[in-house]
Structure 1
């Protein structure tokens, strides 16, 4: 696909040496997209390691962009240390996308790959041909919709009701739109503001995806639509849904030919009934277009509510610092 730039963002080292798993992911994607422009955007390393990596990438006709590492954001509470790599992701994603020269761009991570070309017809249909439900112009931030992997694209009424939380693992659309998503300012320690409400506990005021998205919205509308994870008023839920409908279209990983080994090792069933699948997205579009409720909506809501009860109980336990320390040791994977 000659009009596509593929930007890999993330670490290229494992310890002090080049991560061959990342190299394998890039190679596999190059085999699926022989004509695409491929860019790897990561952080500076030792001259010898950098040269070795550049040589490997040159063999695959892959451009390399290496930035200075802004480091993690670190803060503490009674349970110990909390770490966010928001700025690392922002700097490397933006640097890679600035180098993209094709009209369409696809952003993914160095620990993921594309095993096939499933995204190609979706780009044609939903981006170039603007297929899908009509967009509410009042909520339109991007020029065209951006294709979004369902992974971590949180449903505002799901079992984990984060608002303004599109997925950031995979985005594909017009290059200018994907760049806009990663145009937020760098965050500082003020991001750390533990938020708690029934069914949701978060150490950070905004997750990275939320930080990127609300600042993209702000750059176009001039409004800060969301104050952080402690806010859950009905009008905020509706705004979150309408902005997502107008600007993203989610698909499951199999439809995109997207492979992420870490997901299947670490995350299966975590966040069940909390994500925007394509079918949930279509049903949401029907709600806002005034159509009759889909027959699957009610059983889906019941299952979501049952699953959410478990999260409500979990949040009650997370109020205890000793439980938070245990949860971090078991479930926080970087």
Structure 2
């Protein structure tokens, strides 16, 4: 069954590119909106941004101006200064936009990303079989593989799904974003002079893990990790089943997504050392074959496996040693 563009609402969320000194590609939101008109003619565009943003002249069908919740504190440095993230900002602009969607299908698209095709429509429908365990959504949701990681700092990780792009049934996309706000980390005076964050003295969970876990915990509160590298064969199996039963994971060019220059070109996130840590579409298909459809044929499977294993062996070993050294120093500071 093909998906009609008229049945899709694209929630373009985030700040609007309008000023030369904004930390976004100049004109990227204009490009984002134009790409939707090009590849999804007839789809409804809902721009969910902030009060005070200059939106004049932008090509959207519906505008939502949100109150800015501000950044949230996720870590304190040893000198007591707070590190902040925009988790709540992303959550508010995404969730408030999705709550207004009236069409059967919805897309969550950052205002600094754009479409390059409509391949995601086919992918969302292309894998009909599912396993029985950890199958939480009515249908699968297509996501980008950038930062959907198998490895971080050279070590394996779980539940590390990208938050850039979501496409699927509106009820499913909404379910993944209708999650609690992120609370500010409370400063602990008894640990003054030490770094403070969740998971300390191990590395703190990544923000992508936090978003994905909050969504999964609505369905199964037992799904938990203690820190970035909390890993076991049992956790790996649960993570893989959550990926394969609820998502379709693919590279930007596979799903039809264009990224701003911060995450593309020669930037760190797009270099081979980072790309080999991500879960590629062929690797996701291997999970699909393993857990959902043993008859599924995967093109170029063996060559991809060998290439990925070799590159990971060569390129991740130094990162693994570096990460282990940083962790050892962090733990030593706690004991001193």
Q: TM-score, normalised by structure 1?
A: 0.79
Seen in structure 2, the aligned counterparts of structure 1 residues 309 and 253 have a Cα distance that, compared at 3 Å, is same
Residue 328 of structure 1: aligned partner: none
Aligned counterparts of 2:264 and 2:221: Cα–Cα separation in 1 = 39
Deviations 1:147-176 (A, max 9, x none): 111111112699552211111111110011
**Contact 1:184/1:211 (<8 A) preserved:** no
Residue 307 of structure 1: aligned partner: 315
Point out the more displaced range, 286-295 or 169-178. Answer: 286-295
Point out the more displaced range, 73-82 or 62-71. Answer: 73-82
Residue 98 of structure 1: aligned partner: 99
Deviations 1:212-269 (A, max 9, x none): 2222222123434434425212211111111111111112211222111321242222
Seen in structure 2, the aligned counterparts of structure 1 residues 160 and 183 have a Cα distance that, compared at 3 Å, is farther
Seen in structure 2, the aligned counterparts of structure 1 residues 194 and 14 have a Cα distance that, compared at 3 Å, is farther
**Contact 2:105/2:170 (<8 A) preserved:** yes
**Contact 2:150/2:279 (<8 A) preserved:** yes
Seen in structure 2, the aligned counterparts of structure 1 residues 193 and 211 have a Cα distance that, compared at 3 Å, is same
Seen in structure 2, the aligned counterparts of structure 1 residues 187 and 256 have a Cα distance that, compared at 3 Å, is same
Aligned counterparts of 2:292 and 2:275: Cα–Cα separation in 1 = 27
Point out the more displaced range, 278-287 or 76-85. Answer: 76-85
Name structure 1 gaps, 5 residues minimum: 322-334
Residue 11 of structure 2: aligned partner: 7
Residue 331 of structure 1: aligned partner: none
**Contact 1:150/1:253 (<8 A) preserved:** yes
Point out the more displaced range, 67-76 or 261-270. Answer: 261-270
**Contact 1:149/1:170 (<8 A) preserved:** yes
The within-5 A match list for 1:39-58 is 39-45=46-52, 50=53, 52-53=54-55, 55-57=56-58
**Contact 1:44/1:66 (<8 A) preserved:** yes
**Contact 1:155/1:163 (<8 A) preserved:** yes
**Contact 1:196/1:230 (<8 A) preserved:** no
Aligned counterparts of 1:41 and 1:27: Cα–Cα separation in 2 = 16
Residue 150 of structure 1: aligned partner: 145
Aligned counterparts of 1:282 and 1:16: Cα–Cα separation in 2 = 42
**Contact 1:10/1:92 (<8 A) preserved:** yes
Seen in structure 2, the aligned counterparts of structure 1 residues 312 and 77 have a Cα distance that, compared at 3 Å, is same
Aligned counterparts of 1:287 and 1:148: Cα–Cα separation in 2 = 20
Seen in structure 2, the aligned counterparts of structure 1 residues 77 and 158 have a Cα distance that, compared at 3 Å, is closer
Seen in structure 2, the aligned counterparts of structure 1 residues 286 and 120 have a Cα distance that, compared at 3 Å, is closer
Q: CA deviation at 1:17?
A: 8.9
Seen in structure 2, the aligned counterparts of structure 1 residues 238 and 185 have a Cα distance that, compared at 3 Å, is same
Residue 287 of structure 2: aligned partner: 284
The within-5 A match list for 1:126-137 is 126=126, 131-132=127-128, 134-137=129-132
Aligned counterparts of 1:159 and 1:84: Cα–Cα separation in 2 = 24
Residue 207 of structure 2: aligned partner: 208
Seen in structure 2, the aligned counterparts of structure 1 residues 38 and 160 have a Cα distance that, compared at 3 Å, is farther
Residue 330 of structure 1: aligned partner: none
* 2:162 maps to which of 164, 167, 172: 167
Residue 324 of structure 1: aligned partner: none
Q: CA deviation at 1:78?
A: 3.1
2:250 is the counterpart of 1:246: no
CA RMSD of superposed structures (Å): 3.0
Point out the more displaced range, 183-192 or 282-291. Answer: 282-291
Q: CA deviation at 1:2?
A: 0.5
* 1:35 maps to which of 25, 42, 57: 42
Q: CA deviation at 1:305?
A: 3.1
2:156 partner SS: coil
* 1:193 maps to which of 198, 202, 210: 198
Name structure 2 gaps, 5 residues minimum: 187-196, 331-336
1:138 partner SS: coil
